[in-house]
Structure 1
């Protein structure tokens, strides 16, 4: 693609102008010729077939019919005014109706002429009817040029765009004009050997055929070519970035496994590590010995023991004379990490501190001093860790938890806290489907903890309808009588008129009636509480002073109460799969059998039913993540929106996994043979990579 031509502002395209350009920018983000070219149709309507009137059925979406216009007539007054025309073919009659644009349509309709009509059929008084059909005069020789007998593209538009006659047809006209004028400027950006090996159609032809194919086969070939190209250049960018980092960013070498690691492993670790934890520790150990900055993603289901792996990695860093830190997205989660790590290492083993927005200035000053003189080994906190005044003496390893909640710039600030960039370990308890990990984290090495610690029993998940509420109360009482604790999670704090949902305030009232003092005590936690109030309520529950915690989703992460064995989720159909899975992970942390009860109304959407069935069927976070991606699409999975990586125009990670794998394998093969893209056959890739011809905004990709 000739970059210069396609970076031309959209107002300079024939038929656009300033007013239409403004609305295209605001409504669709179309600023340049390239943006318009990449406003791909969301579907194609089959115009390759003519129907007979007698074959039309009520449930047909669109039909195309060849008819002779018999008569036209204006009926009604003012707001009931409409234009009605009668038309026929050799099998029957059809009534055509217009309620808008009547003057214009009446002028162009000529009784006795033959027309190609296209639209959604309906039936009125057992007669076939079509409202506001598209009409073209039947010109046998010019029928293809008019867009008939082809697959007609349908483009997304908006009400505002329609006011500027930029409905699907108007957009189609602009794209057609752009292609007529500039198709010759769409240059190839893949080497001939790749085109041949993967049987890819030429680039310019693919852009024409994805918009205006003559048949389904042309459309399929064009889609495959452009999907492959998009995913190939995405992987090229990610793996090139990884390669550059390996050359550019030297890493501190952790040669030693010494006193702190060995002492912890031999005397403080309260359980045997799983094989998966040992494997991941070995991968981290090898990374930190290579002299290159480690960038590793650690995926592990809720409760799989990621924090212990992170701690043991930090102990290796400390053994080698370095400081470490953990950055968490919320105070609750930072606090949880602090309590867990302090509980594991004790008070006098190493120096651990917590730095969040709630820490008073006096304590903060002490933390800053200890960081700067090197006596503080582990600092745990929120984004307060990246403030300019936080200076480390020798930061060697950074652990980032739930990293998708942090922006690229926030993460980069941590890198700059040391002369030699620290090693980075990114942790997530949100299982990410393989294809998503390859695009979101394609430049990171990935480790997976796919085993739960020994002795953990799988959580039993049950789905109850509203009619089973008394049974649910009875079950809660049984578990509390055994000395266990219960979470009850609601989607809302206050009742909403728009959503007929159980809410926390009503729920607390119902729970207080069903579980009265003095036999039962209830903690209440939600996002509107001040940090100190929230912490007070959490601590009461953690210490076992309350048996029931009524909460909103603030407890999704960061609460670890091994004695809590029941999680009840009200209006479970309103939660996404990954959120349901995270909430369920708050129980099952002790040796006792734990339960998750999903409460829902009888009326469930198809997706809602699928989500609840999935939760009952499996505890496997990766299986759940795959189903979640199929239901919601990759762009809506938590954390993917802000990454910018998933601004895919034509590829779809839920359906194009095979193409993604092909593209990634090819990029790996190319870099093994030609890391600098210096060979003659790769000059075309080098050029596409240097310019933005590859069709991706590189600056959006972290």
Structure 2
């Protein structure tokens, strides 16, 4: 059998080449190398722009030598330093070699070559120390073994200190010459888009002769990446369509109608539309798989509750899975309060059409847990709300008809499946997220789910003013921020102070990123102590974070909701689900450590009552830094969808998708889930047609193999979380 993309790379290029490739880039098979595409191309005669170089980066540049000298130094002048100055015609760069005086002759003025190394700075001049060097042309007629002069274009690969671009170029040429590659794109799909075949595209992307070739090759591989991912999702949607669920049609005169009649407000047009979409899904005999996303405060919980009540009316049960005990308890309190006597099924004072709503968390007392488990197993509890405790084998539901997963990104597929798989009949699934998701990412990350979106805010929601407080330049503004908190409390209102970590020993354990080159963040412990003895000493302060015992968390939240705490000093545990209408002001310390969408979520905790909200983003970041620019963007709009696009555009592609930070095994090399919406939509449509015709891909072995490879990557692990 010949060499294929699945062949071990070591068997083709040898240990000497394969070992550094594996160490630097995680390459194990031939396909890993073939899919390591050049990041740019340099035409012979076109020198690199040296002004773009950054200190600390590993760079490969094409430049012309203008000066080459040997300088002696050290005791008795016995050591030699060769300094070579290269230029792009405008800027210059110094190459420094120690004890290699022969370099002066090799790099004579006029020599053009590729130079690679880590960019440093010496005496305010950018330099490469002991760079790798590879000639790209030879005016003296020396043979051109790599064929660069004939091709006229040099590929520049993502490289590392251990493996330079030249070594990658040679290794790719070696495997291209011996590898047989089958095309994962079906012929008709490729032809309809006028895309080159796989072998042609690999030649063009690695060894182009004209810019048009590498551009067409990139277009082809960008589509292929989208197509393989969308094929995975199309197979999942096809498989889900074959599952059988119990139809849960809407029943007139039941608990849902009773609840709807009591609503003290009118649903928005968006809410009514989504309620009807979900009602239609629930009435079908195949499982619903729907993502419900929406703005902060757009009323997702009401929509989900109406879906749960429809299932209860149809004789089934609904389970709501929340990621934290604080959020689970909040849901339980809120839903119970909204239902009133409709949540007192079988109890004294219960309404005619009523059910029970039970909470199940790991910290509950044995007696309370036993009572909740009995109501869940008997069916007396139509709605069961819980955390991971719901997933335990000891939890049995009489007839699970609907699973609602809140903040889906915090759960793995195995956790969701623990409930779904135990059910005799596949339940309907509604996934909720309060983080608006750009359409491109929704198609790529939640591609097996239908999507419903709530953009419109309910009537009466108050605006939230957001201001950046740049204390590096204006330290007095922080004092004014605390004065604003005091003013609000004196008016009978409440406030949040949000910090990024709990104590001195913590390293960003609440989900924030440590920024480089800025002051250490303030801890909750220190901030609480400073405020209690300083600017907020006259107020009643409370503390809330993820490591408090569950009963302590509940007590703090209950006290804050009851108005017994004026200011809640908290971590991001208050990011979602916490609803205290009397809270009107939030101060976020070290705001530059939070993502844009996260800040949008946080500020959604204020302005939920009759008074407008105020969010103050405190930062020590330099005003010209990207971190400060992100805060200005958050302050400039209340549109969470606009912020989600900006946030995604500013983050690394792998971070958007949840891949490992190195991204070494990510399936995405060229496709941008932020920018390539039309490509992804086209690929989704094409993949759906292919899978409908051949669900198992029996007639398309190369595509089947590509799907299998994707499923083996860390990328697939994230896709599975959907």
| TM-score tier (shorter) | 0.7 to 0.9
Moved more, 441-450 or 593-602: 593-602
Task: Find the aligned partners of 2:524 and 2:673 in 1 and give their Cα distance.
Answer: 37
Extract unaligned runs of 5+ from structure 1. Answer: none
Task: Find the aligned partners of 1:86 and 1:546 in 2 and give their Cα distance.
Answer: 68
Q: How many Å apart are 1:198 and its aligned residue?
A: 1.6
Q: Residues 96 and 15 of structure 1: is their aligned pair in 2 closer, same or farther, counting only changes over 3 Å?
A: farther
Q: Deviations over 1:303-332 (max 9, x none)?
A: 111111111111111111101100011111
Q: How many Å apart are 1:95 and its aligned residue?
A: 10
8 A Cα contact 2:578 2:605, kept in partner: yes
| 1:262 lines up with 2:276 in the alignment | no
1:616 aligns to what? 635
8 A Cα contact 1:69 1:115, kept in partner: no
1:458 aligns to what? 463
Q: Give the 3-state SS of the residue equivalent to 1:181 in structure 2.
A: coil
| 1:697 lines up with 2:706 in the alignment | no
1:448 aligns to what? 453
Superposition pairs for residues 549-698 of structure 1, below 5 Å? 549-601=568-620, 603-604=622-623, 606-637=625-656, 647-668=667-688, 675-676=693-694, 686-692=700-706, 696-697=710-711
Q: How many Å apart are 1:33 and its aligned residue?
A: 1.1
Superposition pairs for residues 166-565 of structure 1, below 5 Å? 166-182=163-179, 185-254=180-249, 256-267=251-262, 269-346=263-340, 347-348=343-344, 349-466=354-471, 467=474, 468-495=477-504, 499-515=519-535, 519-565=538-584
Q: Give the 3-state SS of the residue equivalent to 1:237 in structure 2.
A: helix
Extract unaligned runs of 5+ from structure 2. Answer: 54-58, 345-353, 508-517
Moved more, 292-301 or 530-539: 530-539
Q: Residues 391 and 641 of structure 1: is their aligned pair in 2 closer, same or farther, counting only changes over 3 Å?
A: farther
Task: Find the aligned partners of 1:282 and 1:33 in 2 and give their Cα distance.
Answer: 50
Q: Give the 3-state SS of the residue equivalent to 1:430 in structure 2.
A: coil
Q: Across the two proteins, how many residue pairs are aligned to each other? A: 675
Q: How many Å apart are 1:495 and its aligned residue?
A: 4.8
Q: How many Å apart are 1:126 and its aligned residue?
A: 13
8 A Cα contact 1:58 1:123, kept in partner: no
Task: Find the aligned partners of 1:29 and 1:125 in 2 and give their Cα distance.
Answer: 37
8 A Cα contact 1:461 1:596, kept in partner: yes
8 A Cα contact 1:353 1:376, kept in partner: yes
Q: Residues 86 and 238 of structure 1: is their aligned pair in 2 closer, same or farther, counting only changes over 3 Å?
A: closer
Q: Deviations over 1:58-116 (max 9, x none)?
A: 77887645669988677656999444277999x99x9985435x45x838956989843
8 A Cα contact 1:297 1:446, kept in partner: yes
8 A Cα contact 1:566 1:587, kept in partner: yes
Q: Residues 201 and 507 of structure 1: is their aligned pair in 2 closer, same or farther, counting only changes over 3 Å?
A: same
Q: Residues 135 and 441 of structure 1: is their aligned pair in 2 closer, same or farther, counting only changes over 3 Å?
A: closer
Q: Residues 669 and 168 of structure 1: is their aligned pair in 2 closer, same or farther, counting only changes over 3 Å?
A: same
8 A Cα contact 2:500 2:523, kept in partner: yes
Q: Residues 77 and 291 of structure 1: is their aligned pair in 2 closer, same or farther, counting only changes over 3 Å?
A: farther
8 A Cα contact 1:403 1:426, kept in partner: yes
Q: Residues 123 and 24 of structure 1: is their aligned pair in 2 closer, same or farther, counting only changes over 3 Å?
A: closer
2:56 aligns to what? none
Q: Residues 593 and 654 of structure 1: is their aligned pair in 2 closer, same or farther, counting only changes over 3 Å?
A: same
Task: Find the aligned partners of 1:608 and 1:392 in 2 and give their Cα distance.
Answer: 47
1:153 aligns to what? 155
Q: Residues 59 and 221 of structure 1: is their aligned pair in 2 closer, same or farther, counting only changes over 3 Å?
A: closer
Task: Find the aligned partners of 2:270 and 2:198 in 1 and give their Cα distance.
Answer: 45
| TM-score w.r.t. length of structure 1 | 0.86
Q: Residues 605 and 532 of structure 1: is their aligned pair in 2 closer, same or farther, counting only changes over 3 Å?
A: farther
Q: CA RMSD in A?
A: 3.7
8 A Cα contact 1:304 1:453, kept in partner: yes
Q: Residues 79 and 344 of structure 1: is their aligned pair in 2 closer, same or farther, counting only changes over 3 Å?
A: farther
| 1:39 lines up with 2:57 in the alignment | no
Task: Find the aligned partners of 1:205 and 1:32 in 2 and give their Cα distance.
Answer: 20
Moved more, 281-290 or 24-33: 24-33
Task: Find the aligned partners of 1:119 and 1:631 in 2 and give their Cα distance.
Answer: 30
Q: Residues 461 and 97 of structure 1: is their aligned pair in 2 closer, same or farther, counting only changes over 3 Å?
A: closer
Q: Give the 3-state SS of the residue equivalent to 1:697 in structure 2.
A: helix
8 A Cα contact 1:50 1:63, kept in partner: no
Task: Find the aligned partners of 1:6 and 1:447 in 2 and give their Cα distance.
Answer: 40
2:82 aligns to what? 84
